[in-house]
Each structure stands twice: as C-alpha cells, then as structure tokens.
Structure 1
Amino acid sequence: MNSGKERKISKKVCLLGPFAVGKTSLVRRFIYNRFEDRYVSTIGVKVSRKIVMTPHNNEIIELSIMLWDIAGADEVDELRRSYLNGVAGAILVCDLTRRETIDKMTAYAKAIHAITPQAPLVLAANKLDLMPERAISDQMLQNVAQQLGSSVHLVSAKTGDHVEALFKELASLLVQNV
C-alpha cells in the first residue's frame, strides 16, 4: 500500500559480453534513446545512471540504476572482476549474428554470481535488426537462458526494439527483495 512516501533506492547493474556485441549501444539507447553507427571500443568501464519508476507491492519505487558498461572480453579477468563488486544484477549481452558470443554467457554469469549469488540476470540477444545474418537460434537462446536461470530478450539497440522492456524487467527483478 502506498503511504504517500517516496521510496528511493539505488542499484548497480553491470552489462557484460564479448567485444562489439552492443553493450554501449544498449545503454545509449536506454538512457538517451539514440544510436550511433560508428563503433568505438569501450576502454575499462563507463558508468551511466537512469532513474526508473518501478511498481512493487502496491507502491512505486524510484529506482536509480547505475549502469556499468564494462569493456568487452572473452573472459572475466581480475580487472573486470573488480568492477563487479557491489553488483545487484546484470544484463548479459550476445550478438545474434555471431554464434560464438552466446558461448561466453555462462562464464559471465559465474563471475557475477561469485560476487552476488542471488543477483538477477537477464540475457539480451542484440542486433535483432540483422535477422538475415542471424546465427543463434531461439532454441539456443532458450537453452542458455535456462542454464542461467534468466529470461531472454531479443533486442535491437539500433532500432530500439524491446530495449525498454529489457531494462524494465531487470528493474522489476531488482526491487523484488526491497
């Protein structure tokens, strides 16, 4: 029941995935609703923030999401592992046009859960706009999502398709235990 009080909470969310899967583009689309065609590799980590109003138990929570866009890599090394401290949830990003990117998701999930065992994960299969070049089947995505205990969202940072739903689902998961 909403007592008229505003509840404000802040949560750290990491985006993890191999190089050039579209992590930065997803963040840019979610926060600024724009897309840039030119690719500039993220170095280290870039932190952004967005406030999302999230319903929970008959009240609205003002959720400040701190988005940590971590540079792509094939594995989570010690430097990247240090960026995960304090993580509350994660978006694991693969590229629908590159089959090998889905194979990295389990390692990213293990790295997150080594820090925060109950952190919710959401799998984002990006580049939905490139369907003719698609290399990852729905069945593959469902199998990986099941292994991770996560949902899967087919998204396009370029067109914006399903990006808002991806982040809203994670926001909802983040406030479940507050």
Structure 2
Amino acid sequence: MADFEKKVIKLDVLVLGDMTVGKTALISRFIFDTFETNYYPTFGIDFLTKMIYRPDNVLRVQFWDSAGRKCFDSLLPSYIRDSRLVLVAYDVSRRPSYEVALDHVERVRQEHGDDVFIMLVGNKCDVCTAERQISTSEGQAKAKEIGVAFCETSAQSAIGVKAAFNQILTAGMNSLTNESMKEQEEKKAAEEQEKQDALCANLVLPDIPSGDALGNQYGCGCSVVWNCVASFVKSTVYGAQVQQRNDTVVQEA
C-alpha cells in the first residue's frame, strides 16, 4: 500500500517538567536523532511533529513542548485538559526537578483521573553516581505508588529515549482501539433499540372499552376492576406481538 493511501492517525503528546531537565532535547533526539549542547529556552509552548510510516497506517505525532519556567504555568491547564498522553520529565541529578515533576503528575491526575497515560521520565541517567540525587529504584517505586509508567533516559547518550516514546505511542494506539470498539458497541446497541422501537410502533392493541365508560353505566367499582383487566389484556397482547415479531426477525436473519 502506498503511503498516500494509508490512514493517518493523529496522536498528541504533552511534555512537562522543570527548566533544564531536557524536555526539548528528548523530543529532538526522538524526532531527529540529534543532540545539541545548547538549546534555547522554550517560551510558552513549542510544537513539533513527527510522521511515522507503518505497514497499515501513518502516525502523525504532535509533541507539545512546555516551558519549565513558573511564569508560563498559566498556559498549562488548557494543554493538560486536551492531552491524554503525557510525559513528565525530571533531572536525576536535581531533586527539586523531581518534586516539580510529581506536582505535574498530580495536576494531570486532577484533570483526567485515570483516563490518561502518564510516563515519569528520569532524564540524564548517564551522570556519574556521585551526582545522582534520585536513584532508579526511588523513581520506580514512586511511579508504582502513583500509578504511572516509568523510564530513565539520556537524550545526550540516546539511552532509553526511543523505548520511552514508543511505549507512550503504543498506549495511545491502544486507547484509540478501545474507543473504536466502544463506539461500535454503542452503535450496535442503538441499532437494536431502533428495531425494537419500529416493532413497537406497528403493534395493534385490541379495542377495549374504557373503565370510565363502564363505570358510568355500572358503578365506580366496575370501573376499577375493568381498568385492571384491560391493562392485563393489553400487556399480554403487546408482549405476544413483540415476541412474534422478534421470532420473525431471527428467522429472516
């Protein structure tokens, strides 16, 4: 199948984290497989796209690279609200960035609950042991405790970057598949309900005199009794006709 004939699937990935944890470097490593020693600080939200060509479809992945400075925090709620795939990065050699990352995870959880995929990423994992402030085991334990995925990466050394983003994209594809199955089930249920409504609309109920008319002639006691009888007769005939029509539909199928 030619690339232009394939279905294009769009996925959005929001990247959050403190200043200088390497958010832009992670995205650049995944998209371009390059690393720059100097990156200009992100102002507000930056936007990058990567096209991934697969045998059956094309993934158009849009990365929303957020600024880490506090002055841009007011921009984040709208992006968090629209995101179902979130990477939250911290620098393993700076504990304050780890605390900021956990705050971001909490903000995303407050907005989406469990209806979101979050990956906690410890970047710059290639630093020497003496410079580490957050161990791998501590990051793993915290991620398990708060119910998010975990990975350690190095944008500079290209360690774990592809694995992290591929796990996020796989989660996004699985989410789309589940939503598609749910939509199909809802559509099928709606079609069945339409059939039932059409059957009920064509039912012919017997012409039974009203209890009020009989009550005027024979007394109010007769009216009450007759209304009960009429209701029973109508429901019995109604049920029988519905069952007969359902049997006809099954036989035709």
Q: What SS does structure 2 have at the residue aligned with 1:30?
A: helix
Which shows bigger deviation, 77-86 or 148-157? 77-86
Q: Which digits, 9 at most, give the CA deviation of each residue in 1:88-135, with x for residues without a partner?
A: 211000101112221122321232234433110111110012133111
Q: What SS does structure 1 have at the residue aligned with 2:14?
A: strand
- Structure 1 residue ranges without an equivalent (≥5): none
Contact 1:106 1:148 (8 Å CA) reproduced:
no
Q: How many positions carry a matched residue from both structures?
A: 170
Question: C-alpha displacement at 1:60, in angstroms?
Answer: 4.5
Which of the numbers 124, 131, 134 marks the counterpart of 2:121? 124
Question: C-alpha displacement at 1:12, in angstroms?
Answer: 1.4
Contact 2:18 2:101 (8 Å CA) reproduced:
no
Q: 1:38 to 1:142 in 2, by over 3 A?
A: same
Q: Higher relative contact order at CA 8 Å, sep ≥6: structure 1 or structure 2?
A: 1
More strand by share: 1
Partner residue, 1:138? 136
Q: What SS does structure 2 have at the residue aligned with 1:97?
A: coil
Question: C-alpha displacement at 1:75, in angstroms?
Answer: 9.3
Report 1:1-178 matches (<5 A): 6-52=6-52, 60-73=56-69, 77-117=73-113, 118-132=115-129, 133-178=131-176
Which has the greater radius of gyration? 2
Question: C-alpha displacement at 1:174, in angstroms?
Answer: 0.5
Question: C-alpha displacement at 1:21, in angstroms?
Answer: 0.2
Contact 2:136 2:152 (8 Å CA) reproduced:
no
Question: C-alpha displacement at 1:151, in angstroms?
Answer: 1.9
Question: C-alpha displacement at 1:65, in angstroms?
Answer: 1.3
Q: What SS does structure 2 have at the residue aligned with 1:165?
A: helix
Letter in 2 for 1:170: I
TM-score calculated relative to the size of structure 1: 0.85
Q: 1:173 to 1:136 in 2, by over 3 A?
A: same
Letter in 2 for 1:24: T
Which shows bigger deviation, 15-24 or 134-143? 134-143
- Measure the CA separation in 2 of the matches of 1:18 and 1:73: 7
More helix by share: 2
Q: How much is the aligned-residue C-alpha RMSD, in angstroms? A: 2.2
Question: C-alpha displacement at 1:33, in angstroms?
Answer: 0.7
Which shows bigger deviation, 25-34 or 109-118? 109-118
Which shows bigger deviation, 165-174 or 37-46? 37-46
Q: Which digits, 9 at most, give the CA deviation of each residue in 1:58-100, with x for residues without a partner?
A: x844322110000014698322222324212110001011122
TM-score calculated relative to the size of structure 2: 0.61
Which shows bigger deviation, 132-141 or 111-120? 111-120
Q: What SS does structure 2 have at the residue aligned with 1:175?
A: helix
- Measure the CA separation in 2 of the matches of 1:128 and 1:135: 11
Q: What SS does structure 2 have at the residue aligned with 1:136?
A: coil
Q: Which digits, 9 at most, give the CA deviation of each residue in 1:148-178, with x for residues without a partner?
A: 3122111100011110111000000011122
Contact 1:52 1:171 (8 Å CA) reproduced:
no
